């Protein structure tokens, strides 16, 4: 990420939400977000990213990486071939560590790609809402997976997933609100627009380290 872009984002949070700004001061966003590619060829990298999102669901980072690596090893290249995926026996996919449900879901994605049910090549041209609408037509992909795809694959900057339990836990920890309601969360998150994705990343980060000790004076001022 360019320094000037990062400075702009942090300035926005410093002005609008000093609590989360304190948490992101030393956060390296480049460790979370991969550089975006301007050219997407035939959409095969989007397809691969979705498969990886499905495989990694409800798993720790270490476990997800191990299974994804074994899954990738079934193909000649790191980009997953949807035709070959459809031809792989379900038990082989199960043997790399995927559940039966995830095995079915990645094949549903492959089918959507091969039948052009979803326009993978054009996803980057759609609005956030349109991307979610397209992807959720695939059985096995819901709003959460679509929102993760928006943030980590398309690099969209203004996404917050209310269905993400990690974000809810991070929010409760950072703002010291036990069992926050969606209304309470939205009141805060609305201040982050148009950079909600960076606020989301910061909340996930708070669960990975002890870098965040909320400034009590800031909390008192907010009240």
The answer to whether the CB of 44 falls within 8 A of the CB of 79 is yes
The candidate with the shortest Cα–Cα distance to 70, out of 94, 46, 35, 34, is: 94
The answer to whether the CB of 81 falls within 8 A of the CB of 74 is no
Q: Which residues contact 164 (CB under 8 A, 6 or more apart)?
A: 144, 147, 200
Tokens 């991070």 sit on residue? 170
The answer to whether the CB of 138 falls within 8 A of the CB of 109 is yes
C-alpha torsion 173→25→29→20, nearest 10: 30
Query: Rounded to an integer, what distance in angstroms lies between the CA atom of residue 186 and that of residue 162?
Result: 9
List the catalytic residues: 164
């Amino acid at each position: 990420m360019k320094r000037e872009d990062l400075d702009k984002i942090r300035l926005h949070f410093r002005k609008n939400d000093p609590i989360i700004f304190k948490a992101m001061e030393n956060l390296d966003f480049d460790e979370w977000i991969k550089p975006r590619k301007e050219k997407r060829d035939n959409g095969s990298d989007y397809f691969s990213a979705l498969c990886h999102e499905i495989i990694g669901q409800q798993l720790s980072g270490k476990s997800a990486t191990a299974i994804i690596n074994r899954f990738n090893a079934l193909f000649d290249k790191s980009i997953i071939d949807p035709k070959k995926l459809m031809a792989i026996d379900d038990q082989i996919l199960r043997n790399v560590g995927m559940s039966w449900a995830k095995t079915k879901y990645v094949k549903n994605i492959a089918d959507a790609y091969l039948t052009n049910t979803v326009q993978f090549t054009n996803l980057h041209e759609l609005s956030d809402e349109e991307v979610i609408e397209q992807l959720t037509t695939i059985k096995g992909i819901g709003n959460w997976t679509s929102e993760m795809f928006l943030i980590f694959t398309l690099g969209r900057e203004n996404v917050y997933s209310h269905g993400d339990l990690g974000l809810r836990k991070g929010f409760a920890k950072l703002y010291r609100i036990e069992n926050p309601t969606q209304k309470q969360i939205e009141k805060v998150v609305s201040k982050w627009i148009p950079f909600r994705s960076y606020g989301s990343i910061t909340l996930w980060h708070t669960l990975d380290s002890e870098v965040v000790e909320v400034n009590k004076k800031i909390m008192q001022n907010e009240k």
